[in-house]
Structure 1
Amino acid sequence: MSGPAPAAHPAELRAAARHVLHVPRRRALTATGAAALLAFATGLPGSAHAAGLDPARIRSDPFTLGVASGDPLPDSVLLWTRLAPRPYEPGGGLRPGRYPGRWELAYDARFTRIVRRGTAFAHPELDHSVRVEVPGLEPDRVYHYRFRAGPWLGPPGRTRTAPAPGARVRELRLAAVSCQAYHDGYFTAHARLAAEDLHAVVHLGDYLYEYPVPPTGGARAYTDRVLPDRFDRETVTLEEYRLRYGLYRSDPDLRAAHAAHPFVLTWDDHEADDNYAAGAAADGRAPEDFLLRRAAAYRAYWENQPLRAAQRPRGPDLRLYRRLRFGRLAQIDVLDTRQYRSDQVCGPGWQIPGPALHAPGRTMTGAAQERWLLDGWHRSAARWNLLAQQVVLARRRDAPGAGHRLSTDAWDGYPAARDRLLAGAAAAGIRELVVLSADVHVGYGFDLKRDWDDPASPTVGTEFVTTSVSSGRDGAARPPNWADQTLANPHLRFYDGRRGYTVLTLREDTVRADFRVLAAVTVPGAPMATAGSFVTVAGDPGLRPV
């Protein structure tokens, strides 16, 4: 958005790109044709030929999707918004064109002490999304920001830079969230999250779901509105993914959370397609068709999230794994366990494990990301090393005794990769390893063991699995499988099946986890409580109840 516009595509490529956005759902593409389409349809076309339009002619509030910030650095913040006066319509209800706007960053919420300001453009090629990377800021400082388009003033946002490299940080407060199916309930967890005192929110995936959303809103059971029929189908095309983000980001609770805190995001499967693995769709569709869908999903994800330019997609590829540091207290390595993984050999879901799972070449991260992670651990000087990733790392059997099953879409389906990860942490001297996971719509607390079959084996780290914001509907404190899983997994120290999020408080000697849960998500505004609190102590990994 800020800075020079990218180079424009030739006219024939733009015409072909427009064709790609409307590929019929069942149309078969040759591999060569799909590759050619992907090459330009999912690039970031230039705006040199986009007509400049006057934002004063926008007839209704274009800031319906709110504002957001992300990936805080010691000297920089990333600011985001998207102009969409009618977010349930293609293009957000705007005429295709380039709209200029202004942004401001201030020390105070009243914007009397402006730190930076500038001009940004909402380009039609990026669905009128706006992102501004603001450099030259002070470390560990709260800032306030807002956007303006013509006469329209957007809502204010609050963000915070990371502490300086090498700084001694007394305390760092983070929240982990995941899995927010719009059709399964209200985003009350985000409203509660907005009121927390946090440095950042770590979103661990399934920001949206590709499933149809009925006109009544599913479990939300709307009586005062009807959603357009265009949402009542699975997302496949770029236009459909963009519209789905418009639906999700129009939720006031989600907007409040984004406006209150910077987000650090990674994805799982539902941002594209349930249970996909690298270039393989779970439903067996042709790889070239799935890569076209993945490219559309990845582009819409980047357009609608507070991610930096380094994460810009290239066709069906987007490098999402990255590293953030918070002084000397914490290093957060953000993984992508979906884009590069080996396919599930036994199928996704709960399966009886077979020998094929243990093939040494199977990977969750791909070789390049695995090397990047291990190299980063060897260079880490942080007190706490946090691994932010999508699926359960600890071994998790569904029942005690012979005949148990494992969830093969999680790390249990990739035990050799898990062994390499834990061995790599040990080789790098990482003694304070904290893994943040999600995906399963429940809250778990695990001791990570050197030998899963020996409860007395040394504990080598701690895993906090955050529950869902809404996916799975209301849930229960003790789901039906609570007794079986607790008995089958002695390293499982906490299990609660309600919705909510997890707050982490990092200090020099401890990490505390508070599992926040809601009474319900199928009714708005339900009360929240803390289901359990645990600490792990530096030099003595494992969970201790508070």
Structure 2
Amino acid sequence: MPRPQPTQQDQDSQQEIRRAAAALGRRRLLTVTGAAAVLAFTTDLPGSAQAAEADARTAVRADPFTLGVASGDPQPGSVVLWTRLAPEPYEPGGGLPKARIPVRWELAHDRRFRRVVRRGTALAHPELNHAVHVEAEGLGADRVYYYRFRAGKWLSPVGRTRTAPAPGADIGELRLAAVSCQAYHHGYFTAHRHLAEEDVDLVFHLGDYLYEYAVDAHGGARGYTDRELPSRFDRETVSLEEYRLRYALYKSDPDLQAAHAAHPFLVTWDDHETENNYADDVPEDGGSSEDFLVRRAAAYRAYWENLPLRRPQRPRGPDMRLYRRLRFGRLAQFDILDTRQYRSDQAYGDGWHHPGPESTDPARTMVGAAQERWLLDGWRSSDTVWNLVPQQVTFSERRSNSTSAYKVSMDAWDGAPASRDRLLAGAEAAGVENLMVLTGDVHKGYAYDIKRDFGDQDSRTVGTEIVATSVTSGMDGEDRPSNWETYLAANPHMKFYNGHRGYVTVRLDKRQARADFRTVAVVTEPGAPVRTAASFATRVGEQGLHEV
């Protein structure tokens, strides 16, 4: 099917980004200062913004909260509150005038807002597609709060969030969940509906929040018969407007909205928020880096606009520092990684290949030198019981079979084993005793013991890896994929392998960490029940998974 012709607005947006990309140059040469921060690529909005301020009572003529509310990146006295005004979410601009619209917000101790603790007014800027990011400050540590927004006469749904404990707080337990890979066109977000009902303190989204691929009028595997999606979704996302609209499609899903309204999220991306299997400034098809950075800038900006992220994560051109550290009392430190923006281009292409000189080159990296130093420094200064690393692609070795001719994924850490070895050596030198890696990407649920030397299964177990399956990607899946026995035999450190959709919950305390793999059997139809496919635990000071 030929690609639909871009609208004039699409062309204007693309030209805006290209002009900015040309001004900024290639990512590795960027020096963004002052006037060089071109408006198309910056989220710093001066007080004298270009757009006039509108009266919300007249500018907003229909419910603008069609995309729900969200919160994220909790700190001991602060949390990010998010919404986006879009009375017509499937239309460019959301059906709003190009004007700044005041949005009132409230934060309370109770769901009925009888005990309001903070309130204020934020401006929804057209330059940011009328997204709102409120960094609510002056809050109590380790407290549950409820929040809502108002624009004109319209009131948003109520969201529930919580702040992090104080850095030195002696907390007894922490409950978290991890999700990844939610292709809209592969099914319903039933897992998110169940996640909304879980008793967890926070949720990690580990990447592939959306997919750049076309979504047809019937929603792909959803098979809509009662409505049709606009044809503008039936093409791959490239321009800023297309990425914005794709977020609107995903965030209009009621199950995803329910999960966001129930829990604070900590997010990181993988590849599909921009393009499949990209690496740094190298696109999937190996084309022009300059052209790809234009696309990457559009994707990064739309990502920030649509998720509850703080000011330090605002993109600058085709760059966005997403790796960051959060601490929950003395129990856990979270080092959230970005394994896309700084990595070496995949060896031998993007697929599975025998390890060889190209993939084993010591110079190869998954995270870049600066992020690697940041992580190792964070481990050296950590004094928490648990050190968790939420990130994107499979960290542990995953051989395709038990023969000497095995292959590994060049898109995962197996494609840059020297980078993995440096991190494991750094964790060992820092005295990190309770390491857990949280992973997404592969549309399967896995549980691994992390070996200091994967080539020697008798080597020390230095941590564990919990891989969250997809929310929908890959469609319904199955309990035991066809290569189930082969994988388990080839990888003795692999303790669990399941191919259904769902998410993972993890309960941390001072004695152990317990992971429950929560799965649904069907996503091509709505409403499937959730079950626990398996549960594993690892003890403090005694790394290694055992089934419970």
Pairs aligned (count): 529
1:217–1:400 Cα change, 3 Å: same
Q: What letter corresponds to residue 170 of structure 2 in structure 1?
A: R
**CA displacement 1:77-119 (0-9 Å, x = unmatched):** 1100000001000001111111012100000011000000011
State the alpha-carbon separation in 1 of the partners of residues 193 and 421 from structure 2: 38
1:483 Cα deviation after fit: 1.1
Aligned to 2:499, the other structure's residue is in SS state strand
TM-score by structure 2 length? 0.94
What residue in structure 2 maps to residue 316 of structure 1? 318
Corresponding residue for 1:416? 418
Alignment correspondent of 2:218: 216
Identity of aligned residues (%): 64
1:21 aligned onto 2:13 = yes
After superposition, the Cα gap between the structure-2 partners of 1:29 and 1:192, relative to the gap in structure 1 and judged at 3 Å, is closer
Q: More deviation in 286-295 or 354-363?
A: 354-363
Amino acid at match of 2:13: L
Deviates most, 49-58 or 464-473:
49-58
Given that residues 349 and 409 in structure 1 are in contact (C-alpha distance below 8 angstroms), is that contact kept between their aligned partners in structure 2? yes
Q: In the alignment, which residue of structure 2 is the partner of 1:228?
A: 230
* Contact 1:66/1:155, CA 8 A, preserved across alignment: yes
- Partner residue of 1:524? 526
- 1:38–1:295: 8 Å Cα contact kept in structure 2? no
Amino acid at match of 1:42: F
Checking the alignment, whether the CA contact within 8 Å between 2:177 and 2:505 is kept in structure 1 is yes
Contact 1:20/1:41 (<8 A) preserved: no
**3-state SS, counterpart of residue 301 of structure 2:** helix
Paired residue secondary structure (1:109): coil
Secondary structure class of the residue paired with 1:375: helix
Structure 1 partner of 2:274 = 272
Give the corresponding residue for 1:42. Answer: 41
Q: Which of 337, 359, 362 is 1:360 aligned to?
A: 362
SS in 2 for 1:427: helix
**Secondary structure, counterpart of 2:256 in structure 1:** helix
Cα offset for 1:42? 1.3
Distance 1:536 1:490 in 2: 17
The answer on whether the counterparts of 1:38 and 1:292 sit within 8 Å (CA) in structure 2 is no
Matched with 2:285 is 283
Provide the aligned C-alpha RMSD in A: 1.9
- 1:38 shift after superposition: 8.5
Deviation at 1:23, TM superposition (A): 4.1
With over 3 angstroms needed to count, the CA separation of the structure-2 counterparts of 1:519 and 1:119, relative to structure 1, is: same
Shift of 1:29: 11
The alpha-carbon deviation at position 31 of structure 1 amounts to 6.0
In structure 2, what is the Cα distance between the partners aligned to 1:166 and 1:471?
40
Q: Is the 8 A contact 1:350 1:406 kept in 2?
A: yes
Which runs of structure 2 are paired with 1:15-414 in the superposition (5 Å)?
21-23=13-15, 39-44=38-43, 45-46=45-46, 48-57=49-58, 58-414=60-416
CA distance in 2, matches of 1:418, 1:90: 43
**Residue 485 of structure 2: SS of its match in structure 1?**
helix
In the other structure, the counterpart of 1:7 is none
* TM-aligned CA deviation for residue 352 of structure 1: 2.0
Give me the whole-angstrom Cα distance separating, in 1, the residues matched to 2:182 and 2:391: 16
Tell whether the 8 Å contact from 1:206 to 1:439 is kept in structure 2 after alignment.
Answer: yes
Distance in 2, matches of 1:347 and 1:326, equals: 39
Moved more, 53-62 or 411-420: 53-62
Out of 532, 535, 538, the residue aligned to residue 533 of structure 1 is 535
Residue 204 of structure 2 contacts residue 265 of structure 2 at CA under 8 Å; is this kept in 1? yes
How big is the shift at 1:49? 2.5
Deviation at 1:41, TM superposition (A): 2.2
For 1:111 and 1:83, the matched residues in 2 are separated by 22
Shift of 1:30: 9.7
State the distance in 2 between where 1:93 and 1:483 align.
Answer: 53
User: What do the CA deviations read for 1:138-162 (whole angstroms, capped 9, x no partner)?
Assistant: 1111000000001000000000001
Residues 324, 336 of structure 2: 8 Å contact kept: yes
